[in-house]
């Protein structure tokens, strides 16, 4: 394991430090190969980070973003990660950055998976930064425990970049990046808040188990993982 734990007393301090680290990763990508690729977490937690990042002076035309996962809804849907990212990050100075959405044609992600896969091949590899959140069940991206789709998506022999994830029970089907894709980055930044999630993280660090998908990120030596946590 190659894990760095950054713990903060204040969420604003956390966001300021994470912002600095993300900017360094983007600049390194541009410097190394004239392009930077960044995977972004959805949800409201990284919103303040995205807003501050949008105000940073960078060569944004050389930056390509994609989400780590997406509900199978149109980009203007209230539940769309793309909508959140466009409204918080792809504006101001970052308006010229490129974005690859996971939603493609097809009534469900199984039918749209091949098209999404082809779009994702435009990402410069290795990915410069993979920013992930974590749920209280230990899921990352849309890799929820206990699903056959998750099992397939977390199999490192599966070299696809994305995989459809269906939970049932009225939940909207999703497209998630695979574990192979998430581990094709130079750095993984794991961002979450609260004592309960920290306990889940600690448990996942002790033992690798499919019951806590985040543990597969922690029990590998290919990509360094940096935790950013606050109450």
Cβ(110)–Cβ(103) under 8 Å?
A: no
Per residue in 125-140, pLDDT (tens digit) is: 999 999 999 999 999 9
The mean of the pLDDT values for the chain is 96
Cβ(122)–Cβ(86) under 8 Å?
A: no
Pairing of strands 174-177, 162-165: antiparallel
Quick check: 1 pLDDT over 80? no
**Whose structure tokens read 């998630």?**
176
Domain ranges of the chain: 3-230
What is the percent of the chain where pLDDT is above 90?
A: 95
Q: Looking at the domain that runs over 3-230, which CATH code has it been given?
A: 3.40.50.1360
Who's near 66: CB < 8 A, 6+ residues apart? 37, 38, 39, 40, 99, 100, 101, 102, 120, 123, 177
Per residue in 62-73, pLDDT (tens digit) is: 999 999 999 999
């Amino acid at each position: 394991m190659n894990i760095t734990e950054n713990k903060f007393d204040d969420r604003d301090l956390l966001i300021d430090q994470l912002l600095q680290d993300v900017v360094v990763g983007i600049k390194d990508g541009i410097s190394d190969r004239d392009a930077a690729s960044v995977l972004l977490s959805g949800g409201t937690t990284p919103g303040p980070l995205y807003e501050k990042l949008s105000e940073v002076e960078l060569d944004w035309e050389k930056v390509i973003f994609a989400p780590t996962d997406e509900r199978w809804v149109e980009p203007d849907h209230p539940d769309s990660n793309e909508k959140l990212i466009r409204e918080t990050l792809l504006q101001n100075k970052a308006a010229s950055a490129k974005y690859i959405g996971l939603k493609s044609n097809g009534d469900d992600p199984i039918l749209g998976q091949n098209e999404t896969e082809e779009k994702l091949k435009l990402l410069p590899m290795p990915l410069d930064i993979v920013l992930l959140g974590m749920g209280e069940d230990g899921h990352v991206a849309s890799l929820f425990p206990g699903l056959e789709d998750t099992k397939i998506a977390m199999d490192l022999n599966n070299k696809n970049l994305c995989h459809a994830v269906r939970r049932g029970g009225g939940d909207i089907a999703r497209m998630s990046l695979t574990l192979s894709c998430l581990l094709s980055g130079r750095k993984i930044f794991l961002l979450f808040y609260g004592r309960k999630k920290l306990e889940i993280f600690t448990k996942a660090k002790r033992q690798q188990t499919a019951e806590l998908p985040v543990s597969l990120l922690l029990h590998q030596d290919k990509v360094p993982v940096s935790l950013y946590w606050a109450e």
